[in-house]
């Protein structure tokens, strides 16, 4: 199987056409990958080597393009992008494939979606990895409304906001539908309730780059959860942490520990 470019399959979730991809061992335990804002399954998971890493570890790898991204449908209505709705897309994919439980890993916006998936369908989630999003999941990550404005600007030259320029350039690099992304960023930032995380017994690993100025503290988020662990990904910012070898090794160790039933409340 060519892991550099996976072919899309499709399923329907609430009248939305969602693209998904599969790699790895068909007999391995499933890992569901949920990418971040303005990214795709390929950009977040294939190109940085995650599908290869998980394949070599013997896992079955499932990844989807979130609505508004990649090869999936791209509505321009902000009401289509609440994280509860996107979490339902992910749950629907696992149900469609007859997968009773999976390790789930999300990055940035995908981490938020993974949290809502875990809280709404704990039966589907053996463990969860929150990458690129720490306490920002519950406290917020600042005012992102300007991001929508920069996505709708006629040219990158018209964008002065530094964070806006970063995401506008990323959207252009990934050839994204800027109108869909602008709609997505307006409604996909619902905060996760602290009390809900405190009651979440699913094993969780939080990984954030030490130079990430968006995500918030990994340790503080992990300590809200009964079985939370954290990883500070050294010398990585928000964009570069996802493919880091330290992150990959920690995730594999975490999955192995969960699979062996060795998870405890000990902190990393």
Residue 11, pLDDT above cutoff 80 = yes
Bridge partners of 102? 125
Rg (CA), the chain: 17
- What was the pLDDT predicted at 188? 95
Other beta carbons within 10 angstroms of residue 190's beta carbon come to 13
**Is the alpha carbon torsion for 139, 189, 254, 39 positive or negative?**
negative
Structure token digits, residue 252: 């594999």
The string of pLDDT tens digits covering residues 186-233 is 999 999 999 999 999 999 999 999 999 999 999 999 999 999 999 999
Among the listed residues 259, 193, 198, 201, the one whose alpha carbon sits nearest the alpha carbon of residue 223: 198
* Three-state secondary structure readout of the chain: CCCCCCCCEEEEECCEEEEEEEEECCCCCEEEEECCCCCCHHHHHHCCCHHHHHHHCCCEEEEECCCCCCCCCCCCCHHHHCHHHHHHHHHHHHHHCCCCCEEEEEECHHHHHHHHHHHHCHHHEEEEEEECCCCHHHHCCCCCHHHHHHHHCCCHHHCCCHHHHHHHHHHHHCCCCHHHHHHHHHHCCCCCCHHHHHCCCCCEEEEEECCCCCCCCHHHHHCCCCCEEEEEECCCCCCCHHHCHHHHHHHHHHHHHHHCCCCCCCCC
What is d(CA 69, CA 67) in angstroms, rounded to the nearest whole number?
5
- What was the pLDDT predicted at 2? 62
- Would you mind telling me the total number of residues written for the chain in this entry? 268
The string of pLDDT tens digits covering residues 135-179 is 999 999 877 778 888 898 877 777 777 777 888 888 888 889 999
CATH class of 8-140+188-260: alpha beta
Residue 98, pLDDT above cutoff 70 = yes
- What was the pLDDT predicted at 26? 93
The string of pLDDT tens digits covering residues 230-263 is 999 999 999 999 999 999 999 999 999 999 987 6
Q: In what order do the strands lie in the sheet with 228-233?
A: 9-13, 16-24, 60-64, 30-34, 102-107, 125-131, 204-209, 228-233
- What was the pLDDT predicted at 1? 57
The string of pLDDT tens digits covering residues 16-58 is 999 999 999 999 999 999 999 999 999 999 999 999 999 999 9
Look at 160 and 67; give whichever has higher pLDDT.
67
Other beta carbons within 10 angstroms of residue 67's beta carbon come to 24
The string of pLDDT tens digits covering residues 118-130 is 999 999 999 999 9
Residue 266, pLDDT above cutoff 60 = no
In this structure, the dihedral spanned by the alpha carbons of residues 41, 47, 50 and 56, taken in order and rounded to 10 degrees, is 120
94 and 102 in contact (C-beta within 8 Å)?
A: yes
What is d(CA 180, CA 259) in angstroms, rounded to the nearest whole number?
38
Structure token digits, residue 101: 């439980």
């Amino acid at each position: 199987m060519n892991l550099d470019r996976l072919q899309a399959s499709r399923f329907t979730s609430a009248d939305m056409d969602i693209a998904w991809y599969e790699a790895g061992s068909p007999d391995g335990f499933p890992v569901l990958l949920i990418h971040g804002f303005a990214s795709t399954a390929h950009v977040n998971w294939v190109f940085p080597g995650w599908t290869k890493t998980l394949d070599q570890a013997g896992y079955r790898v499932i990844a989807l393009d979130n609505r508004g991204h990649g090869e999936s449908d791209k509505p321009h209505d902000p009401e289509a992008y609440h994280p509860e709705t996107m979490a339902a897309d992910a749950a629907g994919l696992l149900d469609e494939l007859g997968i009773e439980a999976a390790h789930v890993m999300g990055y940035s916006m995908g981490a938020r979606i993974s949290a809502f998936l875990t809280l709404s369908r704990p039966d589907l989630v053996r463990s969860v990895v929150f990458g690129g999003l720490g306490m920002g999941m519950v406290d917020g990550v600042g005012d992102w409304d300007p991001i929508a404005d920069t996505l709708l600007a006629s040219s990158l030259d018209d964008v002065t906001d530094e964070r806006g320029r970063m995401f506008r350039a990323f959207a252009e690099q990934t050839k994204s539908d800027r109108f869909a992304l602008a709609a997505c960023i307006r409604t996909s930032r619902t905060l996760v309730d602290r009390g809900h995380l405190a009651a979440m017994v699913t094993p969780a690993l939080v990984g954030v780059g030490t130079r990430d100025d968006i995500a918030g503290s990994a340790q503080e988020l992990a300590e809200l959860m009964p079985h939370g662990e954290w990883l500070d990904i050294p010398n990585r910012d928000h964009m570069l942490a996802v493919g880091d070898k330290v992150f990959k090794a920690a995730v594999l160790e975490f999955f192995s520990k969960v699979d062996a039933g060795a998870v405890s409340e000990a902190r990393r």
